[in-house]
Amino acid sequence: MSSDNLACPSTSDLRTQPVAALDKEGIGPAMMSIPMIACSTSLSEHHSGGSGTNKNKQMVEQLQRYGVISSKKVVEVMETIDRALFVPDGTPAYVDSPMAIGYNATISAPHMHATCLQLLEENLQPGMHALDVGSGTGYLTACFATMVGPQGRAIGVEHIPELVASSIKNIEKSAAASLLKGGSLSVHAGDGREGWPEHAPYDAIHVGAAAAEIPQPLIDQLKPGGRMVIPVGKIFQDLQVVDKNLDGSVSIRNETAVRYVPLTSRDAQLKGY
């Protein structure tokens, strides 16, 4: 479940394509249109110098200019958690594309991280509980933890034990290290399709791979008033926003067309699905 979306048109991330292109493919228009973001170059490549921290900030600023980020809080957290600490060594950290992280898994493109953080922002307030299913390298889990703070709880669930171990090391190098040490942030090996009942219910749930249908345990573990963001579908997929109403009923809407790898078992993932 650490597998992720494919962000470039060349790797079939429909979200970066114009709405008209979606119509031609018979998928229907996405409900949110984002300008095309160049995938072959770094978002900040026109700045040849500077530290990694500066380049991370430049990446975020360019996402703002593209209109991907409008939230000041999302800007703040993405500037705080340096993406370079969560990608493999030698990988261009600030390119707006998913990156392979081993085990047939990826880390999302920055624009997808930004989109999901904005969709979940109101459910990532200080003191709230968040669940990241398919936490991969730990980047988004660290962002969640930073937003909910030491009085909240951020849980990452990843079914590849090696990725759990490496993600913890990544977080230890990041601005979220104190939250990990303090216990408000943790990453666990397990089947994320079953959620993580120990710290349920959750105000926010993010799923990083496409489910054929929304797993019932995740709906059950969503708090009334909570929100889940999950890609759903097989060949054609939508990023769905699932809101649990205060009476326990569930409302679902499609946010945009996407292309993610499947939410599946550990064995199936390691075999290439």
In the chain, where the domains are located: 112-271
Q: List the structure tokens of 161.
A: 């034990």
Instruction: Point out the catalytic residue in the list 2, 3, 97, 108.
Output: 108
174 is catalytic: no
Closest CA to 143 of 105, 182, 116: 116
Query: Which pLDDT value is given to residue 250?
Result: 97
Label residues 111-129 b or e (16+ Cβ within 10 Å = b).
Answer: bbbbbbbbbbbebbeeebb
C-alpha–C-alpha distance, residues 265 and 251, integer Å: 27
Global pTM value: 0.83
Which residue, 250, 233, 229, 253, is CA-closest to 119?
229
Alpha helical stretches, state H, the chain: 19-24, 52-65, 72-80, 110-120, 139-148, 161-172, 177-182, 216-220, 266-270
| CB-based contact 244:218 (threshold 8 Å) | no
Protein fold of 112-271: Rossmann fold (3.40.50)
d(CA 174, CA 83): 9
Instruction: Measure CA 82 to chain center.
Output: 15
pLDDT < 50 positions in the chain? 1-42, 44-49
- Please, what sign has the CA dihedral across residues 58, 60, 61, 63? positive
